[in-house]
Amino acid sequence: MPILAPLALLSALSAPQVSADTRLAAIKAVRDPEWDVAKSAEPTYRSAWVAKFLEQAAQRRTLILEFYRAYPKHPETLDLLNRRWNEMTQYQFPPSPKTLQLAREDAARIERENRDPAIAQAAAYWRANFGVMAAAPNADGMLAAAEPFLRRFPKDARGSGMLFAAAEQTKDPERQAERFRRVAKAFPGTRDARIALGTLHLRQSIGKPLPFDFTDAVSGRRVNSADLRGKVVVLDFWATWCGPCLAEMPKMKKLYAEYRHKGLEIVGVSLDYPANGLKALQSYVAKEKIEWPQYFQGNGVDSDFSMRYGVNAIPRLFILDREGRLIDAEGREGLEAKVRRLIETGK
């Protein structure tokens, strides 16, 4: 059978005799739109890209469901179903209640009808995860939605994300710390556990010196927190692939121009990835004439320094006083006023 265009495949692949290879080729033919980093800061670019992604994802979900119905025991079926469920809510901020309800029903139906333990377990996870998303931002409701899966599959690392999300939304500091500790204890070694421990470490670091020592990715000179004593320091956690980070850069440049000679230093902490990340960082800094030093950590969002302080979303700004003490871990809001006050009063 010839490989048809994706829209034609929606009807042409309904026949059960179509081979698995042909169906897989059809799914792979529905490609995500390419992301143009150079346009990522444009206000309308991301929305247009997301709209195209959602259109392609809807086609792909239909093809994956057809594949599952025809070949439920195929080695690639589980991975395809996981992708299908993931794309049901991807790039929707937040997903609508109707979308989440349909997604939960879809996962529940496949969980009920499937005798394959791995597929049934994956379906149970997604059903719980969609429930967590539907309950957000109610932390207790999120945890209640996750608990059945956590009890049933305590060693499934996917549970860490749901537990972490509930902990992150918990308002009471003590209860939140307790839930972060639960993440770290129940899922040691996972990324969520590292971030949970980092978040707890960050809390304990407020008011204390925050040390760093690295080689500037642009100039090659050494940058040490001890050498910056006497200056107000803003740590800017960012990446060249992060559209909101790039959108904030003009404000950061303006702030630096106004206050650098009054005692301000900015230190960029890059979460760019190993593959071409350093080159992308150096190219962007040169193009935009950014003058402050850049710490290229080298491992993207899993880099040690940012993980140590629980940084799991960017842009994120830390503010250090003239003694090198971390005084604000949420520096974006009212940044200029905070910097001005620190420079003028030291408080």
Return the domain boundaries, the chain.
6-203, 213-345
Give the pLDDT confidence of 264-321 residue by residue, as tens digits: 999 999 999 998 999 999 999 999 999 999 999 999 999 999 999 999 999 999 999 9
CATH code that applies to domain 213-345: 3.40.30.10
pLDDT of 14 reads 54
Alpha carbon 10 to chain centroid, angstroms: 32
Strand-pairing partners, residue 266, are 234
The whole-model pTM stands at 0.81
Alpha carbon 298 to chain centroid, angstroms: 17
Confidence of residue 1 (pLDDT cuts 50, 70, 90): very low
The span from the CA of 258 to the CA of 252, in Å, is 10
pLDDT of 4 reads 46
pLDDT of 158 reads 96
The span from the CA of 238 to the CA of 241, in Å, is 9
The span from the CA of 228 to the CA of 230, in Å, is 6
Residue 2 has pLDDT above 60, yes or no: no
**Beta-strand pair 213-215/222-224:** antiparallel
pLDDT of 46 reads 85
pLDDT of 173 reads 94
pLDDT of 16 reads 57
Nearest to 198 by CA among 213, 178, 181, 175: 181
Rounded to 5 degrees, what angle do the CA atoms 193, 308, 202 make? 95
Residue 113 has pLDDT above 60, yes or no: yes
**Beta-strand pair 232-238/222-224:** unpaired
Average pLDDT, the chain: 92
Give the pLDDT confidence of 93-106 residue by residue, as tens digits: 889 999 999 999 99
The span from the CA of 13 to the CA of 102, in Å, is 24
DSSP H/E element including 294: strand 294-296
The span from the CA of 314 to the CA of 321, in Å, is 22
Tokens linked to 65 = 């469901």
pLDDT of 13 reads 53
Q: What mean pLDDT comes out for the span 254-264?
A: 96
pLDDT of 3 reads 41
| Collapsed DSSP state (helix, strand, coil) of residue 250 | helix
The span from the CA of 65 to the CA of 103, in Å, is 13
Give the pLDDT confidence of 155-211 residue by residue, as tens digits: 999 999 999 999 999 999 999 999 999 999 999 999 999 999 999 999 999 999 999
Give the pLDDT confidence of 118-137 residue by residue, as tens digits: 999 999 999 999 999 999 99
